[in-house]
Amino acid sequence: METLKIVGGWIVTQNHNREILKADILVEDGKIASIGEVGQADNMIDASGCVIIPGLINLHTHISMTLMRGIADDVHLDDFLKRTFEVDARRTREDVRLGSELGAIEMLKGGTTSFLDLYYFQDEIAKAVETSGMRGFLGWAVLDEQFTTQKGNPVDNAASFIAEHKGKDRIYPLPAPQGVYVCGEETLRRTQELATKEDTLTHMHLSETRPEVYEHQKKTGKRPVHWLDDIGFLSDRLIAAHCGWVTINEVRAIAQKGARVAHCPVSNMKLATGGVAPLPEMFDNNVIVGLGTDGSSSNNGLDMFGEMKTCALLHKAHRWDATVLPAQKVLDMATIDGARALKMDLELGSIEAGKKADLAIIDLRAANTTPSVAENLISHLVYSCQAGNVRDVLVDGKLIMQGRNIRMLDEKAVLEEAQKVGEELIRG
């Protein structure tokens, strides 16, 4: 088997001690074989002047919605949803695949190697995962039949998707309820049974907006988190996106049941949902929180570097406390904590021997990252770096972006087709 060594760079390990090393990395059989003086290898990457980090993990997105970028900006949430749903209803399977390829290119160019998605037609998104070389945790959208445009029952569709894709390289299928506003108790019960049977995660939007919370409370007499707890859906299988409108008692319930949270600050701010997820209280209660971009219609991008910086600044400003959410914790959210949320921390999220070689190499020889020293690397990663600083990306030890050139997809062809299809969607 071929071996690869990465030499000459700084390594932000994100290991238990959060060590920063000046060392080499040996990659063998898709995994990190050793760190330090690694000897000879079949191939070499010179990382002089660079920092090597674990591949970033986008814990909540809708990758195929790249074709809907800029489709409903600067409007109230109701108008945003109306416009988005109208365009989304016109999309074809081919549109979903193409949008996913475009999203994969964008994420790879920003150092993101893994993502958790919630959408329909996940079989088409899986094709984009396979062709791009990324790692995809793909949640088939589940909702009550009365609300869906899917053919057949969404839970049954999710079951078929899981059966077809479980065990495939870099694809992790799961059922993903849209939210309590379109998922009744029976749908959620069947979803939980499916996840238990197939031993998968579940993923859903939860307490994203105030109307969602208040309308559910009016309907059931309970806030969404407590209702999910009562019906048995709140569990350590669940990754809940947003949680911007949760009380301290709901935070404690999330913690008690071991559910995790995907925080999406840019999307929440842009849509003016008003709530700010109470991260300090979540951390005080040992809730695992990762970071997500949400989709391109509500974020306009899939840039995890921008997400990290915004995350830190939002909470500092909101709490009037510059010490809240230091750079190291935000980087944790985008790497090892994202891996913990996915129950993949033994394989992803840090640079350690035995883990999968999902890595991003960031060139620090740029105006926005100069001067760089060991003491300011973490700060630079969160506050200074941009997606354009990412030079190379590896997934499973394979070099899938080199010198900012995507190797697995024809970037030029994807962009040309996406421009054409996107114009048709936006203009109707």
Mean pLDDT of 66-94: 89
Q: Is residue 417 part of a domain?
A: no
Whether 45 and 60 map to the same domain: the answer is no
pLDDT tens readout for residues 146-185: 998 888 899 999 999 999 999 999 999 999 999 999 999 9
142 forms beta bridges with 177
Which residues neighbour 5 within 8 Å (Cβ) at sequence distance 6 or greater? 24, 25, 26, 27, 38, 39, 40, 41, 43, 44, 45
Whether 313 and 320 have beta carbons less than 8 Å apart is answered as no
pLDDT tens readout for residues 210-222: 999 999 999 999 9
- What φ, ψ does residue 118 adopt, rounded to 5°? -135, 115
Whether 136 and 197 map to the same domain: the answer is yes
Whether 189 and 147 have beta carbons less than 8 Å apart is answered as no
Total domains, the chain = 2
**Per-residue confidence at 345, pLDDT binned at 50, 70, 90?**
very high
Q: Is the pLDDT of residue 1 over 80?
A: no
Q: Is residue 348 part of a domain?
A: no
pLDDT tens readout for residues 264-282: 999 999 999 988 999 999 9
Whether 241 and 282 map to the same domain: the answer is yes
pTM above 0.95, yes or no: yes
SS3 383: helix
Whether 295 and 62 have beta carbons less than 8 Å apart is answered as yes
Whether 254 and 286 have beta carbons less than 8 Å apart is answered as no
Whether 401 and 281 map to the same domain: the answer is no
Whether 149 and 296 map to the same domain: the answer is yes
Whether 235 and 214 have beta carbons less than 8 Å apart is answered as no
The CATH number that applies at residue 254 is 3.20.20.140
Q: Is residue 276 part of a domain?
A: yes
Whether 110 and 244 map to the same domain: the answer is yes
pLDDT tens readout for residues 364-384: 999 999 999 999 999 999 999
Whether 134 and 264 map to the same domain: the answer is yes
Whether omega for the bond prior to residue 371 falls within 30 degrees of 0, making it cis, is yes
362 forms beta bridges with 51, 390
**Structural domain containing residue 269:** 56-341
Which pLDDT value is given to residue 82? 87
The CATH number that applies at residue 382 is 2.30.40.10
Which residues neighbour 115 within 8 Å (Cβ) at sequence distance 6 or greater? 57, 58, 59, 61, 63, 107, 134, 135, 136, 137
Q: What is the mean pLDDT of the chain?
A: 96
Whether 155 and 299 map to the same domain: the answer is yes
Q: Is residue 424 part of a domain?
A: no
Q: Could you identify the residue written with the tokens 């195929």?
A: 64
Which pLDDT value is given to residue 333? 98
Q: Is residue 187 part of a domain?
A: yes
Whether 15 and 119 map to the same domain: the answer is no
